[in-house]
Amino acid sequence: MNPNVKFGFGVAVSGQRNNDYVPELVVLNTKGGFRITPQVSKKLNVASGDYVMFVNNFDDIKRAAEAHDPELVAFCEENGVDIDSPEAIELLNKTYGMWGIAKGIQLYDSKGVALKCAERLSDAQRESLIRQNFEEALAAAMQNEELRDALTAEGVDDEARVKILAKAYEAPEVDKFNGSKVANSSKTPGTGVVLTFSDANIWTILRDGIDGSKPMARSYSIDLSAATTAKVSNGHHFVDITILPLGDFTDSEVVARTRKDVE
C-alpha cells in the first residue's frame, strides 16, 4: 500500500470488567455476532443499550477514483485494470480499504424531527414480554378472529399460546439509530465492559476467507492511540464521531466446551 494515499471514513450502510482483555473486535462464530472488549467500549463511551456502527473509507476511494487521482491511476495501470471499471474499485477497496467502529448516532429528518422505527426484538425477548403480560395480551388477542381461532384450537396450551402471541406482537416504535444495539450479558452498567451486538451483513464481509468447516472466530486488533474523529450527517446536521480503525486480524478455532463457547 502506498502510505501517501489516505482516505477518510464514512458510515457503512459478555460483559464484565477484566484487565486481562486486549483492545479488539471479535467476529464470533455465531452468524451476525460481534464482541468488543472493555477497553474499546470505554474508548467509544458505549454502554449496554447504546449503539455501535461500522464505518469504512470506500466512498472516499470511489470519489478519488472517479476524479482520476494520479496515484490511483498509476496503481491501476500497474495492475492492468481500467480505473473506470468495477474491477478497479474492487481492487482499490481491497488494497486501500479500511474498516472501523464508532458509537452509533441518532437519526433525524431534514427538519430535525427524530426518526422512528420498530424496536428490534428477538423471539426470546418477544416471548418474555408476553409471559410478563400474558393475561392482558391474551385478552387483547381474543378480539382478533384469526388469532382467537389459533389460540383456542384443540391441543393448544398456554406455552403454545405464548409463541402465537409473541409472533403476532407488534414492537413499539423507538428512536432510530445508525448501527446495532449492544448488550451486556452480565448486566454490568456503564462503559469499560464486554459488549456484544449483531450485524449479519458486515459479519459476512469481515469473516471473508473463513470456509465454515469448523467453528472459528476472527479477532481484529484495535490500537486505541489510533483513534480518529470525523464528521457524519445524522440527517439534519453533521456531528463528530470517534472512530477506532480495525487493525490486523487473527483466526482461532472455537473449542466447543459448551454451546455458549461456540457462540
Residues 159 and 199 in one domain: no
* Residues of the chain predicted below pLDDT 70: 1-4, 7, 10-19, 256-263
pLDDT digits (tens, 9 = 90+) for 33-61: 999 999 999 999 999 999 999 999 999 99
Domain interval for residue 134: 121-170
In a domain, 114, yes or no: no
In a domain, 147, yes or no: yes
pLDDT at res. 262: 46
Residues 195 and 250 in one domain: yes
- Whether 25 contacts 249, CB under 8 Å: no
- Whether 36 contacts 52, CB under 8 Å: yes
H helices present in the chain, as ranges: 38-44, 58-66, 70-78, 86-96, 123-132, 134-141, 145-151, 158-168, 200-206, 259-262
- Whether 240 contacts 229, CB under 8 Å: yes
In angstroms, the CA 27 to CA 207 distance is 7
In a domain, 20, yes or no: yes
In angstroms, the CA 50 to CA 165 distance is 28
Residues 203 and 102 in one domain: yes
CA within 13 Å, CB half, 112? 1
In a domain, 78, yes or no: no
Residues 193 and 160 in one domain: no
Residues 48 and 162 in one domain: no
pLDDT at res. 141: 93
Residues 102 and 193 in one domain: yes
Residues 40 and 160 in one domain: no
Residues 102 and 183 in one domain: yes
In a domain, 73, yes or no: no
Residues 162 and 187 in one domain: no
Residues 166 and 182 in one domain: no
pLDDT digits (tens, 9 = 90+) for 151-184: 999 999 999 999 999 999 988 899 999 999 999 9
Residues 209 and 130 in one domain: no
In a domain, 212, yes or no: yes
pLDDT at res. 125: 82
In a domain, 75, yes or no: no
Residues 189 and 252 in one domain: yes
0.95 exceeded by the pTM? no
In a domain, 207, yes or no: yes
Helix, strand or coil, per DSSP, at residue 125: helix
Record the cell numbers describing residue 251, joined without a space: 483466526
- Residue among 243, 239, 250 at smallest CA distance from 40: 243
In angstroms, the CA 39 to CA 44 distance is 9
Q: How many domains does the chain have?
A: 2
pLDDT at res. 14: 41
